[in-house]
Amino acid sequence: MAVSESQLKKMLGKYKYRDLSVQETISVIAQYKDLKPVMDGYVFNDGSSRELMSLTGTIPVSYRGNTYNIPICLWLLDTYPFNPPICFVKPTSTMTIKTGKHVDANGKIYLPYLHEWKHPQSDLIGLIQVMIVVFGDEPPVFSRPTISAGYPPYQATGPPNASYMPGMPSGMSPYPPGPPPNPSGYPYPFPQPSGPFPATTSTQHYPSQPPVTTVADGRRKQKQVWICGHSYVFWAEKRSLERSFAPKLGVRLQDAKLHWLGKSGMTWDQLIPTLLHSRRRLTDPDVLVIHLGGNDLGTDRNMDIINQMKKDLGHLKQIFKNSILVWSNIVPRKVWNQEIHHEVMEKSRRQVNQAIGHFIERIGGIVIRHDTLVPGSPGLFHLNGVLLSESGTDIFILDLLNALETLV
């Protein structure tokens, strides 16, 4: 049975930032229905304990064409969201922890996203999406062989990389031994689509980057670049044909082949269908540039827009495993189509850019900021105040070019 907002407020009654924690928890359990909020005692290294809430259950992780339910437990400190959660993989009796760069022998999870946690850029949805991406490259558990002999319990060996240790509130030990044994009794379903869980593989460091591929004559492989977005992308393609940029923005043909996927009026919900349709006829991208979201501002709550974007971007990272994702910031406008005050729209734009830019960088992508495209600069916008002028489009194209030159 779903937990209501009033129940969560009661559970988190002693949390310093209760309403923020409740709001995030509601968003998480709405998208990841196998995660359940559970109150229990968390024991720290010094023997002290504290009543904390955890989100306990499974998250779907795609690995080699199959989807696995990975059991996790995210403990929210009573200072959340201004301190990161303490995160563990929680294997069942049929699983064994696979230690590596991101998971220690106790199952504690270490990620740059946790180490660099900063509210409000960091949140639980973004964290889970990063876990899904990382665990898709390196599963944190695998099936235990069926033999008669028992397995001795694992002993803690400390964090695999101290530089990823998340900052902790004063007075708390940075290395708790893990949550109490089976604090909630939550059963972790772990369906195996075909055979046992994947065997251990060599460690792949975070963030994953596509390998450099060479051809027979020693030159670099021609990179496939997709540029997807609304009218700015649509008109940038036409403008590049008219100017010396040429269709490839001046990038050498042997280095990159550009594919423009622009559509006037395009909204966020059209992104994944557009990319999947393009995949039927195009080679998967080495670099995927996304300039989208401006037409969605004001149509829903900012948090809901951001959460949906993070979920979809995490999904795209699973679909295009060897692609570098590039987020092209939503550009300010003189006029917004939505009937909402201009300052409110601009605030929403900045919040979305900050949250999604932070998330993209955490999964190994890059951000194009378009710092010079500001409405105060004369001549950069069309008379309607929404579209860019020819000069503004030229600057938009050059921003793309500068980013692509570092990637191809």
Q: For residues 408 and 90, which has the higher predicted lDDT (pLDDT)? A: 90
CA geometry: angle at 198 spanning 58 and 180, to 5°? 40
Q: Are residues 135 and 228 in the same domain?
A: no
Q: Is residue 370 part of a domain?
A: yes
pLDDT, tens digit, 9 for 90 and up, residues 276-330: 999 989 999 999 999 999 999 999 999 999 999 999 999 999 889 899 999 999 9
108-147, pLDDT tens digit by residue? Answer: 999 988 998 988 888 999 899 899 888 988 899 988 776 5
Query: For the segment 43-61, what is each residue's pLDDT rounded down to a tens digit?
Result: 887 888 999 999 999 999 8
Lowest mean pLDDT among 85-99, 177-191, 243-257: 177-191
- In this prediction, residues 394-402 reach a mean pLDDT of 91
Q: Do 135 and 265 share a domain, yes or no?
A: no
What CA–CA distance (Å, rounded) separates 358 from 365? 10
Domain check: are 238 and 326 in the same one? yes
For residue 207, pLDDT over 80 is answered with no
pLDDT at 196 over 80: no
pLDDT bracket for residue 241 (50, 70, 90): confident
Cβ-based neighbour number of residue 152 at 10 Å: 6
CATH number of the domain at 38, please: 3.10.110.10
In angstroms, the Cα distances linking 253 to 38, 203, 233 are: 56, 35, 20
Give yes or no: residues 253 and 104 share one domain. no
CA distance 269 to 400: 23
Q: Based on the domain organization, do 234 and 323 belong to the same domain?
A: yes
pLDDT over 50 (residue 395): yes
For residue 94, give its domain range: 5-143
Confidence of residue 93 (pLDDT cuts 50, 70, 90): confident
Question: Is 168 within the bounds of a domain?
Answer: no
CATH number where 267 lies: 3.40.50.1110
Give the model's pLDDT for residue 186: 35
Question: In sequence order, which residues have a C-beta less than 8 Å from that of residue 108 and are 6 or more positions away?
Answer: 86, 87, 88, 159, 175, 176, 178
382 band by pLDDT with thresholds 50, 70 and 90: confident
Residue 195 in domain? no
399 and 250 in a common domain: yes
Write down the pTM of the prediction.
Answer: 0.65
**Is 218 contained in some domain?**
no
Last residue of a domain, one of 116, 143, 170: 143
Among 2-16, 203-217, 357-371, where is mean pLDDT lowest? 203-217
Which pLDDT does position 247 carry in this prediction? 53
| Of 125, 143, 161, the domain-final residue | 143
For residues 139 and 17, membership in a common domain is answered with yes
Q: Is the pLDDT of residue 214 over 60?
A: no
**Residue that wins the pLDDT comparison between 344 and 191:** 344
Of 333, 342, 348, whose CA–CA distance to 387 is shortest? 333
179 pLDDT exceeds 50?
Answer: no
What is the structure's pLDDT at 184?
37
Q: pLDDT at residue 356 above 50? A: yes
Q: Specify the residue for token string 């989208």.
A: 292
Asked whether residue 397 is assigned to any structural domain, the reply reads: yes
pLDDT at residue 85, rounded to an integer: 96
Residues 125 and 269 in one domain: no
Q: Residue 354 is inside which H or E element, if any?
A: helix 342-362
Which residue would you say has higher pLDDT here, 212 or 120? 120
- Same domain, yes or no, for 228 and 123? no
Left if phi > 0, otherwise alpha if psi is -120 to 50, otherwise beta: which for 185?
left
pLDDT, tens only, 268-289? 999 999 999 999 899 999 999 9
Give the pLDDT of residue 55: 97
Residue 36 lies in a domain: yes
| Residue 156 resides in a domain | no
Which residue among 100, 119, 143 closes a domain?
143
pLDDT of residue 151: 45
Residue 398 is assigned to a structural domain of this protein? yes
How many domains are contained in the chain?
A: 2
For the beta carbon of residue 308, count every other beta carbon within 10 angstroms: 16
Same domain, residue pair 245 and 382: yes
